[in-house]
Amino acid sequence: MGKWNFIAPGPEQFPANLPSLAHVTCLPLVNPSPMPDSPNDADARDLALVARIRSGDAAAWSLLIREYQDRLFGVCFRMVRDREMAADLTQDAFVKVIRGIDSFDGRSKLSTWMIRVTMNVCLSKLRAEKLRRHASLDSIAAGSSGDGRAGDWEDLVAQESRAGREPAGTANVELREEQERVLAALRELDPEQRAILILCDCRGLPYEEIAQVLGVAVGTVKSRVFRARTALRDMVEQMARASAPRMQDED
Amino acid sequence: MTTNPSNPAGPAGSRQPVSEDALVDWIDGSLSPQDVRRLAAESGRADLYDRIGQMQRHRAALRSLGDASGAVRAPADLHNRVLAALERESLVGHESDEILKLERSAPTAAVPAQLRLVREETDDRAAWSRRVPSLALAAGLLLLVAGAAYWTTQMMRSASPRLANPGTTIAKNDTNASAGTTAAAGSQVEQTSPTTTLAANEQADTMTAMSTADASMARSSGFAAGPVAREVNIDEALSLAREGRLAIRVVSRDLKGLGKLEQDGTQPREGQSWELSRDVPPAVLAASLPATSEASRAFVRASQQYGSSAQPAMARGPAMFSTASLISPLIGPGAAVTSIAPASVINGPSLSASYLLDLPQTERAFDVIRAVLRDRLKGEVVFAELPDTVPVTMTADAQDALWWTKPSSQWSSRVSVPLLIER
């Protein structure tokens, strides 16, 4: 299994002086048209945005944030399961992206590069959290409930299900239950496995793009995806076995 | 093509390695039914369909969350938060190195999670441990300096009685009339501790020499008129003390309480704010005395000539030698302070003793010391303005260095003021 070679902006590539934001106003998107862009249009727009940021146009920051905040926040939220923490991580990720925009070489899509930086921020945060949790007896006592912030996650699942994007009726209920089980298992996986499932299955990124995000070959990505899915399946089964006696007791 | 020898697990007997790529394609639904059947047959696992079916359901559940279509919305204020953070960054500068380090670090799935945790913990420790040597060096230097200051002070204090006690004794023994007779000094020595008797005798002889040379000048100088230009109140006294232009004069007919005063001053009790030092540098004493006073000049000359060394004793011949008198100026801290005269040794017509008074620079402290002097010496206490600045140098004291260990009420600065006791 190869390494995840995230290439993030180095300090020497940061803009020397970031301009002040005092004059920044919320400008409309570059392309406010409701018609979806073709991939080429989106890429060209991203490159133009990058050029403006590199030239010191602070107004372009606002455009970039508005364009990508939902995507990056979604990645962070799936990773950490807490809206407030996800917002903090998204903020950090944007700061890194804009500060390190000079290191974006255009070989990958801007969105791919931004997700890469964001994923790094999340994984760093999760590692630090895990360290703290290991050091805390309280967290150990908390047991399988994780960090106790699962409420956000489950609320969101319920909210998403209520949104009616899926077929109504029995199938909807089953799907919702399946979502809850899978999400519960997902948050018990290692952060790296969770990350690749979020990129692949939640965000639906193609394997080639995931390979760019992770900086590995496509075959390696597929291997990791398969192993992560296997781990997820095992976790779902393990949690189902654990909850079965509890349900019998309740009956 | 990577293979997965362990998964999907099944109890089948004729198991063949199955390509993970192919299994992923199966889960993703990108294999044709023929390829699926072929793969299942090759694997020889009966439960492969079930397991792949589970994974397909899980994948579908994750896809149905709708992340790709924007189901998860960022908080409304995120945009402004990011802009604020960017502005803060641009004003303050780049983020800390720690965050940069995190950004650069590659999440390596190949490394076991536990090992990565250990590495990160080790990194933090390493960052901390890099600072440890400099911190330890700073702490060591601080301890060294504090220790040196403390022991220097202690050694100087321990040396002081050897130099000053005899003089003080003689000063207390009013030498106006006796003008340096050995008998007079000897009678006073009886009141002092036995350990200082020998030195007292030597010092008495010293003063005999001084007195015979300068007593007449001292008498004729009118020293009793005092060194001061005018008397000042406490407020003025405080500001004059800050400038080094204050002396405290005590004029008393009865100096019986001087011994007790000196004892209290040199061995302050807990809570006592003032201290007395018998080591008054000649320059300080000279500046505290009137410029025209011949007595002051005579005293300074005498103290510089005989004040703190055994030279006078040696000059008087072998009969006056003693081990203590020979060794004391050569060994120990006393040797380092030989320029300090036993300043309280005054042979003038009315100046009986002099000290350096160390006290907080507060009105209350000045009030207290005035009351104490009045009480002990039954005389008049005058805060006297000096025409010139007295070159008082505060002695470095370990206690001073530890001012922060005292209650905040004691954090006022201190001043040293010449205290002149006159009969």
pLDDT tens, per residue, chain B with 423 residues: 444 444 444 444 455 677 888 889 999 888 888 888 888 888 877 788 888 999 999 998 888 887 766 678 888 889 999 998 888 877 775 544 444 444 444 444 434 444 444 455 555 666 676 778 888 899 999 999 999 999 888 887 766 544 444 433 333 333 343 333 333 334 443 344 443 344 444 444 444 444 433 433 434 344 444 444 466 788 888 888 888 888 888 888 888 888 888 888 888 877 788 888 888 888 888 777 754 445 445 555 555 554 443 333 333 333 333 444 444 444 444 444 433 334 444 444 478 888 888 888 888 888 888 888 888 888 888 888 888 787 766 555 666 667 677 666 666 778 888 888 888
User: What's the pLDDT tens digit per position in A98-134?
Assistant: 988 888 888 888 999 999 999 999 999 888 877 776 6
For residue A221, what is the nearest residue in chain B, using CA coordinates?
B21
Per-residue tokens: A41: 């249009």
Q: Is the CB of residue A65 less than 8 Å away from at least one CB of chain B?
A: yes
Per-residue tokens: B362: 């507060």
* Amino acid identity, position A51: A
Residue B356's φ and ψ, nearest 5 degrees, are -105, 120
Give dist(CA A136, CA B241) in Å, integer.
59
Residue numbers in A near B109 (CB within 8 A): 1, 3-4, 192, 224
Q: Is the CB of residue A108 less than 8 Å away from at least one CB of chain B?
A: no
Interface test with B, best of A21, A130, A154 (most B CBs within 10 A): A21
Give dist(CA B274, CA A173) in Å, integer.
86
Residue numbers in B near A192 (CB within 8 A): 107, 109, 113
pLDDT at A33 over 60: no
What does each C-alpha distance from B100 to A150, B65, B104 come to in angstroms?
A: 30, 33, 6
Determine the pLDDT at residue B160.
52
Residue pair B163/B342 in contact by the 8 Å Cβ criterion: yes
Q: Is the CB of residue A144 less than 8 Å away from at least one CB of chain B?
A: no
CB contacts under 8 A, B 8-47 vs A, are 8, 20-21, 23-24, 27
Residue numbers in B near A119 (CB within 8 A): 107
Residue pair B167/B183 in contact by the 8 Å Cβ criterion: no
Give dist(CA B386, CA A14) in Å, integer.
66
For residue A198, what is the nearest residue in chain B, using CA coordinates?
B62
- ipTM of this complex prediction, to 2 decimal places: 0.70
For residue A63, what is the nearest residue in chain B, using CA coordinates?
B79
DSSP string computed for B323-380: HHHHHTTTSSHHHHTTTS--TT---SSSEEEEEEEEEESSHHHHHHHHHHHHHHH-SE
Which residues are within 8 A (CB) of A27 and not within 5 positions of it... i.e. 6 or more apart?
A59, A62, A63
In Å, how far is A140's CA from the nearest CA of chain B? Answer: 16
Angle at B92 between CA B88 and CA B94, to 5 degrees: 95
In Å, how far is A193's CA from the nearest CA of chain B? Answer: 8
Determine the pLDDT at residue A172.
74
Beta-bridge mates of residue B381: B250
Per-residue tokens: B73: 């919305």
| pTM beyond 0.95, yes or no | no
What is the band of A178 on the pLDDT scale with cuts at 50, 70, 90? Answer: confident
Determine the pLDDT at residue B388.
79
Q: Span A212-220, mean pLDDT?
A: 88
Contact B103 A18 (CB under 8 A): no
Give dist(CA B294, CA B225) in Å, integer.
12
Determine the pLDDT at residue A207.
93
Q: Is the CB of residue A133 less than 8 Å away from at least one CB of chain B?
A: no
Q: Is the CB of residue B76 less than 8 Å away from at least one CB of chain A?
A: no
Determine the pLDDT at residue B146.
93
Angle at A170 between CA A166 and CA A173, to 5 degrees: 65
Which residues are within 8 A (CB) of A29 and not within 5 positions of it... i.e. 6 or more apart?
A63, A66, A67
